[in-house]
Amino acid sequence: MNQALGLVETKGLLALIEATDAMAKAANVEITKRIDIGGAFCTTVVTGDVGSVRAAVEAGAAAAAQVGELVGSHVIARPSEGLVEAFINK
């Protein structure tokens, strides 16, 4: 399986919406989940092939930084099933 998991975390919903829109437009990825962490921190999770997820996360991080506060972004290539089950599918 050549799947990847991409995450973009922002402080504030506006930056997250802008990042998510940029990710969806930049590459063929599936928007899997939005996670509200608390204290205005929120994360969008996308999945797809490794190259698409990398491109999407880069575009999303750049978009979030332009309109708000980017906290972090990360790509996990070929995540284990246990990781996805423990953190994403709950």
Residue 90 pLDDT class (50, 70, 90 cuts) = low
How many domains does the chain contain in total? 1
Distances (CA, A) of 37 to 11, 26, 44, 68: 10, 25, 11, 17
Assign 88 to helix, strand or coil. Answer: coil
CATH code where residue 62 lies? 3.30.70.1710
The confidence score (pLDDT) of residue 88 equals 75
Q: Provide the residue range defining the domain that includes 67.
A: 4-88
pLDDT tens digits, 32-84: 999 999 999 999 999 999 999 999 999 999 999 999 999 999 999 999 888 87
Amino acid residing at 40: A
pTM score of the predicted model: 0.91
